[in-house]
């Protein structure tokens, strides 16, 4: 359905009118007097704090639920003194309560300003906080799980929790997900996780805030899991900086995250794992990067079947005696797969020592004694072996240099090439290449060519992945005419099956956003292969931006709302009212159109999509930090959170108005330049109410609301990502400059998240087939 031009100017006039009206209302509100006072003491000589609202002959009193001693009350400043140990939390609540009451009186329609309705409103704010501060933190309904099979879940690179949220929404038959643990490196990810899943929903899910590349990450992960078996692992490790043959040219801080993600998979051996990434990974370096990723996934072996392969190679050595040295190298290299971290270093050293011994025997054959001590190429080969034995130490140096490179913003300057050259120089593949070149420069006699080629090949094998080893063995297998036996062993040994990644378009799963993501779904060999996740909505049924945001359009410039307000669509859209309302469709939870028993997308967002599973959940709340999280009295409890706009000056508002009126930033640039309001900002996306939004990123002012000249709020961006309104993004709202390297504020949490409804579709597909 397309909407003809609905005159954005009319929206702007309405928006300006609402601003003017709010100013006039504020003038009348100055006559109000909202104060706190101490009521009569109770038996324990504690004085209840009451809020009183006076206007002319009207007086409304409501108990706040807080009690203190008289000596701890500062009536002049309307606050609790520091002598009361709870003064911070009580004062924070009183300030919030007064602010919300004054705002309600300013913005509520006249029919909501009766004595009873005002008192009910204040009482609801008090009760919301009271219900959150009473009772046990654990509030899961145990009866709900009776007769149900729990599929355990771990969410790595969890971010805000888009995967976790979507998986918790999914149920199929008697199966649902038991969320065991989330992990990320950033503290605001942990804060949001703890607030949502532990404090609000009452789950006992763990969170591991640790760099996945740290040596003790796996040990700490296992401790947190407390012996529980993991059925499904999900996460989105960055793979963008990978280059061919495993080499990384960018030397990004995130380079090794993909490899470490698979290291966790090798350890946990889940039935399924889901890996999400950007679409560009499919075409990077002509598609060879995705092939490398699939190769790495297929390199995860079933250690229970591994001896079959080792025995096969041993038998092959007996037949192919002239190739026994190389086959033994493959045999030793493959034993790396089954080694623990402690044993792995010893195995690698043994492997390299065998090759170095061959070189020592060869050296006097190809050069004299003096040359062996002074020749640069011989010394290079010798030192190359030393470096290859120190791969762990070089990996540590590599990590530290990359971190410093990122911290100091080393990029697009005259330092970057030197840094990258050094990092390239200490990679195993580069060291082997230099050894090879040194052998060639020595120009040894042809009679030693086989020995030299074996040494080089053996060193190359030491850097191979499992899949590359299998490819290398095929020559010997074919020569021995054992292809069928080899393929059968491989079918037993590969722990995970995967055909190819597929592109998932978020709008196909009820998300009002055209966000494309690539999904790799690894299926353990005893589970059914999942090749794709079918759409839950047709192209014509996709959720529109208007459906997602229309009911939140009651916030102005430099404004924050904690309560929902009625949006008068007839007044706001005037002549285009019918066209706009026709966009609103009732749907099932997954986005399918269901006019009989469904809800609108906005209604689902307010109600929540967790299927009544967390009926005892606490009310949504916001905290700034861990200290506030641990004190329930400091929680800001309200129906609506994260709905705050930035303060824009007149020039910015005018610029946004012109872009909105024009409908396109490129078209508006000439007019903006003419009146001196042009900007160096590369892009503004004007949202189209009758279609889906572009990919939601982490910068809010990239988008202009479809009917108001402003950027989106965190809550509006969360709606476009399909998060429930009860999911509150905690901590800082935004950040800038160098802090973006270290901080993950609310806008970043939202923009980087996997849309929960898309995650739910993946989760359901797994539930349908998991054994």
User: How many angstroms separate the CA atoms of 697 and 681, rounded?
Assistant: 15
The token pair at 726 is: 């009860």
Q: CA quadruple 110, 111, 116, 120: dihedral positive or negative? A: negative
Total count of residues recorded for the chain: 771
Classified as helix, coil or strand, 524 is strand
| Catalytic-residue membership of 239 | yes
CB atoms within 10 A of CB 352: 19
**In contact, 711 and 693? CB cutoff 8 Å:** no
* Per annotation, catalytic residue among 79, 189, 234, 239: 239
Any idea what DSSP says for residue 196? Answer: I
Please name which of 766, 769, 771 lies closest in space to residue 177, comparing C-alpha atoms.
Answer: 766
Contact between 235 and 156 (Cβ < 8 Å): yes
Q: Which of 663, 656, 716 is nearest to 681 (CA)?
A: 656
Find all residues with CB under 8 Å of 244, minimum gap 6, and list them. Answer: 285, 288, 289, 292
d(CA 694, CA 120): 41
For strands 79-80 and 149-155, give the pairing: unpaired
Other beta carbons less than 10 A from residue 733's beta carbon: 15
Beta strand segments in 613-764, E: 621-622, 636-637, 643-644, 685-686, 703-704
- Name residue, tokens 């800038």: 736
Please say whether the beta carbons of 264 and 212 come within 8 A.
yes
Angle at 156 between CA 154 and CA 157, to 5 degrees: 155
Instruction: List 242's β-bridge partners, or say none.
Output: 248
Q: Please state, as a whole number, how many other Cβ atoms lie within 10 Å of the Cβ of residue 507.
A: 25
Which ranges in 30-114 belong to alpha helices (H)?
A: 87-107
Strand partners, 693: 513
Place of tokens 């409501």: 62
d(CA 162, CA 579): 33
Neighbouring residues of 203: CB distance < 8 A, sequence distance ≥ 6: 140, 179, 197
510's tokens: 């009820």
| Closest C-alpha to 750, from 683, 696, 702, 685 | 696
110 burial level (CB within 10 Å; 0-12, 13-18, 19+): exposed
Residues 6+ apart with CB under 8 A from 144: 612, 613, 615
Residues 6+ apart with CB under 8 A from 753: 159, 160, 161, 162, 721, 723
Sign of CA dihedral 244, 248, 254, 259: positive
Give whole-number Cα distances, 253 to 19, 158, 335, 394, 398, in Å.
Answer: 47, 18, 30, 16, 10
Long-range contact pairs involving 464-472 (C-beta distance under 8 Å, separation at least 24): 464/333, 465/246, 465/295, 465/296, 465/299, 466/298, 466/299, 466/300, 466/301, 466/334, 466/337, 467/295, 467/296, 467/298, 467/299, 468/295, 469/330, 469/333, 469/334, 472/330
Structure token digits, residue 135: 């009772």
- DSSP state, 499? -
Q: What distance, in Å, lies between the first and last C-alpha atoms of the chain?
A: 42
Residue 426, classed as helix, strand or coil, is coil
For 4-20, b/e burial (b = at least 16 CB within 10 A) is eebebeebbebbeebee
Residues labelled as active-site residues? 239
């Amino acid at each position: 359905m397309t909407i003809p031009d609905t005159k954005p100017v009319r929206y702007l006039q309405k928006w300006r009118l609402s601003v003017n009206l709010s100013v006039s209302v504020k003038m009348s509100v100055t006559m109000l007097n909202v104060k706190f006072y101490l009521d009569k003491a109770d038996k324990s000589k504690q004085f209840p704090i009451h809020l009183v609202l006076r206007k002319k002959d009207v007086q409304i009193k409501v108990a706040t639920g807080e009690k203190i001693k008289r000596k701890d009350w500062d009536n002049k400043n309307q606050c609790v003194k520091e002598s009361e140990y709870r003064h911070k939390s009580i004062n924070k609540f009183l300030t919030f309560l007064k602010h919300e009451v004054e705002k309600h009186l300013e913005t509520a329609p006249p029919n909501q300003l009766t004595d009873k309705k005002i008192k009910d409103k204040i009482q609801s704010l008090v009760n919301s906080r009271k219900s959150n501060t009473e009772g046990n933190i654990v509030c899961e309904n145990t009866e709900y799980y009776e007769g149900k099979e729990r599929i355990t879940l771990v969410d790595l690179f969890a971010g805000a929790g888009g995967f976790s949220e979507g998986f918790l929404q999914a149920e199929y038959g008697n199966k649902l997900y038991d969320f065991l643990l989330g992990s990320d490196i950033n503290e605001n990810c942990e804060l949001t996780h703890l607030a949502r899943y532990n404090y609000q929903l009452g789950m006992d899910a763990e969170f591991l805030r640790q760099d996945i590349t740290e040596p003790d990450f796996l040990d700490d992960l296992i401790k947190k899991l407390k012996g529980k078996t993991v059925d499904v692992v999900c996460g989105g490790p960055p793979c963008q900086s990978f280059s061919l043959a495993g080499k990384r040219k960018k030397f990004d801080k995130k380079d090794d995250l993909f490899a470490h993600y698979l290291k966790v998979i090798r350890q946990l051996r889940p039935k399924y794992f889901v890996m999400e990434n950007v679409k560009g990974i499919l075409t990077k370096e002509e598609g060879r990067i995705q092939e490398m990723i699939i190769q790495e996934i297929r390199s995860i072996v079933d250690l229970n079947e591994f001896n079959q392969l080792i025995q096969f190679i041993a038998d092959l050595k007996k037949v192919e005696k002239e190739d026994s040295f190389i086959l033994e190298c493959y045999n030793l290299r493959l034993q790396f797969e089954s080694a623990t971290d402690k044993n792995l270093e010893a195995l690698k050293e043994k492997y390299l020592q065998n090759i170095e011994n061959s070189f020592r025997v060869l050296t006097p054959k190809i050069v004299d004694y003096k040359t062996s001590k002074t020749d640069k190429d011989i010394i290079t080969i010798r030192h190359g072996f030393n470096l290859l034995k120190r791969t762990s130490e070089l990996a540590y140096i590599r990590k530290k240099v990359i971190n410093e490179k990122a911290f100091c913003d080393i990029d697009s300057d005259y330092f970057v090439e030197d840094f990258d050259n050094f990092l390239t120089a200490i990679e195993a593949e580069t060291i082997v290449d230099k050894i090879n070149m040194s052998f060639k420069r020595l120009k040894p006699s042809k009679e030693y060519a086989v020995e030299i080629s074996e040494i080089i090949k053996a060193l190359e094998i030491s850097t191979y992945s499992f899949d590359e080893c299998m490819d290398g063995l095929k020559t010997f297998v074919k020569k021995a005419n054992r292809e069928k036996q080899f393929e059968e062993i491989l079918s037993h040994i590969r722990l995970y099956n995967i055909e190819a990644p597929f592109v998932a378009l978020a709008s196909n799963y009820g998300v009002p956003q055209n966000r494309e993501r690539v999904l790799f779904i690894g299926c353990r060999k005893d589970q059914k292969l999942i090749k794709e996740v079918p759409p839950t909505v047709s192209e014509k049924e996709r959720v529109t931006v208007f459906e997602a945001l229309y009911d939140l359009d009651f916030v102005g410039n430099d404004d924050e709302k904690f309560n929902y307000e009625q949006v008068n669509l007839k007044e706001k859209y005037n002549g285009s009212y019918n066209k706009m309302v026709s966009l609103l469709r009732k749907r099932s939870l997954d986005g399918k159109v269901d006019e009989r028993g469904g809800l609108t997308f906005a209604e689902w967002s307010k109600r929540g999509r967790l299927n009544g599973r967390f009926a005892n959940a606490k009310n949504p709340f916001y905290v700034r930090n861990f200290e506030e999280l641990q004190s329930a009295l400091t929680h800001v409890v309200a129906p609506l959170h994260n709905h705050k706009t930035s303060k824009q000056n007149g020039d910015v508002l005018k610029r946004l108005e012109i872009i909105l009126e024009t409908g396109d930033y490129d078209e508006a640039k000439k007019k903006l330049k003419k009146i001196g309001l042009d900007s160096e900002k590369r892009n503004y996306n004007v949202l189209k109410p009758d279609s889906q939004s572009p990919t939601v990123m982490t910068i809010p002012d990239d988008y202009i609301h479809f009917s108001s000249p402003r950027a989106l709020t965190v809550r509006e961006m969360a709606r476009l990502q399909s998060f429930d309104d009860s999911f509150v993004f905690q901590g800082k709202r935004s950040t800038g400059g160098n802090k973006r390297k270290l901080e993950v504020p609310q806008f970043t949490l939202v923009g980087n998240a996997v849309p929960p409804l898309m995650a739910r579709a993946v989760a359901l597909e797994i539930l349908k087939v998991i054994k």
